Structure 1
């Protein structure tokens, strides 16, 4: 068992932890630089009273996470097993689903352990470690997971190094090696998944509800532009919803083969869809020049992106991105505006929309709002954890 270190905190952080705020922020410590990754901390207020146990795990959000408010609770395999078992019980409906076989079973601080996520892909489990600190508990967590589930195989992603980047490594951990692509279902449609091919597996599970809504309510008979399209997941759902045609645009060269594959595993005729490898910002210029217009435009950019010509920051540039989209959306059309930037909330995001439409001299209504689906559990005391913001915007 890891030795516990007594640490006195500044009063503000101590009070936050007593309320249940899960993150350990550096400025709440008198001396944080000497703390080692993976250390278990017995956290005390300035008067020396116990407020919680946490661990050191350096992420861009903070230097660690609260684990327990019970002074007598040991941070061992049994502790992790209880957390994982509770998380699994909360996902029983997902496990019992016949038409969805890929979902999140453990979502960091929302399930009581910040810096750790576990996803399920039709019998395979994928653990993502977000700091060296949480990775130091690997054997305990693996043992806890194995005691809680039956599985075909376990894979991992190390989403950290000294710069907070993904660590390239062999992703297979134990069990049987999967045969890839692994075909999983989401609301009855198929996705080709690769658990052994770098940081990205082929689909972002947090957009499940949004994809379903696009299929069920916004696609029939429509032309759909899917920008920053990655593997074309939104396009697959749009076609399944009866879209007249989809156009998927992404700068990454492999988006062509990846999107083609997702269409093919769903029996969709690729020749009837457009898949374009191009910088999205160049495509907007091209579309305006050619006087193209779409019924539905999907915007799901990364929080930050850099290409040869452009640098994009969603916190600074989303308004201009929306203006580009407005210019090529049909009258009475819909823009699906999405961001995963955790540094601002839904209200701020809506100000970007308001400004873009005002500067474009257009009117709009917001028809739908989405945040994370129910398997992505969050803590109400850590708003940054509920990072996803999606608006369905109708142009008047």
Structure 2
């Protein structure tokens, strides 16, 4: 019987544990999570969008796993009674300068085999009466779901299948002793034959505990959200996105009607001063020192200083945030917005300052380290798990 230890109870870690037991029912599977419940960080703070796979280079892991992951996620939700809706979304060009980028995005989506259409402003208003644009890309297969609820069902299913979920178990070391590995935590030691690191915001640190030098460093970027006041929710029917700037992995502030009918606006993207820095007030000296000592951050900053300054200004000003949204829906004003929390994206950055664009999964001996799994990892979680488990040593 093979003993597996999965580190991290976000959606990728739970999905990986589930896949292990699917492929090897007799296996011993333990999931270690430092928090007191699953999905407390990236998974539980995202926008709940089931991505179609528009943005990713054809043939990349993101492109392949996102498209398949959307299908498997919808099947899982249907089987377990989890609300999910395929709403479609608009990606809108608000000025002539964005039209070539919109056309390029259309070409990429077609290359990825997605059901998309370039549509006129009049056609866009048939979907979203309040939108303003020069043209739009309609992506029929985008949807919404509550990923936190998905994780709750996954966790319950794992326990029923015999897996151990240990909460409050922060990993402090990983020792390799011949063919056995021992994962040390704040609640004891866990021997394993195979270790899978799905620690998200701390994945690179966990890799270093195991003696692996990560090819990139996790840099935390906070994404802040507002919500439309209930009486203004009728301004948005579904999902409205701007045309993204291809130089960045962030999609720009957008509008999303959630499963519960609320409309979220955001996120922006500002450097967080803690790996779990959900506000400006949350500062972790160790994390700040770690970030400041990393050459990749300074190279990234030099390359994108103007972009970063713009994001900070938008973070500090509801008026600026509303102005960005008003480019998409002119009727939105600052008075329509209320704060709605934030999330932190674990973005891998290489030493040369380059942002790691694809999922990054590194295998070493009897270990697998998931070192870059931001959006669309939640959408792709079941297929990321399939990909990981297919390559595990037996």
TM-score (norm 2): 0.26
Structure with more of its chain in helix, by fraction: 2
Which of structures 1 and 2 has the larger relative contact order (alpha carbons within 8 angstroms, sep 6+)?
A: 2
TM-score (norm 1): 0.26
